[in-house]
Structure 1
Amino acid sequence: MTDLDEMKNVIVATVRDEELASSACYEIDGYAKLWPFVLMVNDWDVWNRGKSALRPEVLCWLEESGVSYDLHLFLSGGGLFGFKTRHEAAQFTLKWSRKGPAMPVCAISAPDQSWNPHPIKSTFEPPYLGAA
């Protein structure tokens, strides 16, 4: 999951200022020493419009999941996520990198219903309560 050279190449290719690119590469090296699994999440579906903060759905998912993580923001937008375990990094990747299936985020005590794809017996129909 952590390919530091690839991350550095992306930084050098996207940042025009040589000094900023060098600084960002140095930050990646330092960050990788603190966190065993590092993900660069610049173009993922986790950022607000300005890529300066995480969307509330992402924060809610992280809190509900209870994963150990850290976020490092770049000045140019985007950033790095560090995780303690491979499993936590894989969960985050599946959920937010647009590679996994779309799932509801931060479900708030939804009623316990099983999904039924039948057009007449859909989940929107009230449950059968038995004989009247």
Structure 2
Amino acid sequence: MQERTLTSVAWLCVENGRLLAVRTEGRDAFYLPGGKPEPGESLARALVREVREELGVDLEAHRITPVVTITAPAHGRPGTLVEMHCFRAPGHGTPAPAAEIAEMAWLGPDDGHRCAPAVVKTLRHLTSIGAWSES
């Protein structure tokens, strides 16, 4: 059986050595702020929309920078992979849970046990590039 692949976007917001993560209603693991692009929507436009909907933060669209694309098993979806395009961008506003977001947390490199597989791989990547001191 061939695995299905979902495309998603994620905002990498690192402050004070911690990565912003969110947990959606009914889920037991943390994800990165973001989501799936709508048909015909660019990855950057999807990122801006999703972060505004989930956290009330307005990203500076002209300053979105790709960081890494992570491929991992989709949490809670057997036979499905997620291809998560991770970006950095300055944002305006204080992040606060909205829409389907039940909780947000600032996670460090040792918090992988609380996260979906793609976030675990992202934490490892951030460690490998020394990103924890960036803000």
Identify the TM-score tier after normalising by the shorter chain.
under 0.3
Q: Of the two, which has the highest radius of gyration?
A: 1
> Greater strand percent: which structure?
2
Greater RCO, 1 or 2 (C-alpha within 8 Å, sep 6+): 2
Give the alignment's TM-score, normalised by structure 1: 0.24
Give the alignment's TM-score, normalised by structure 2: 0.24
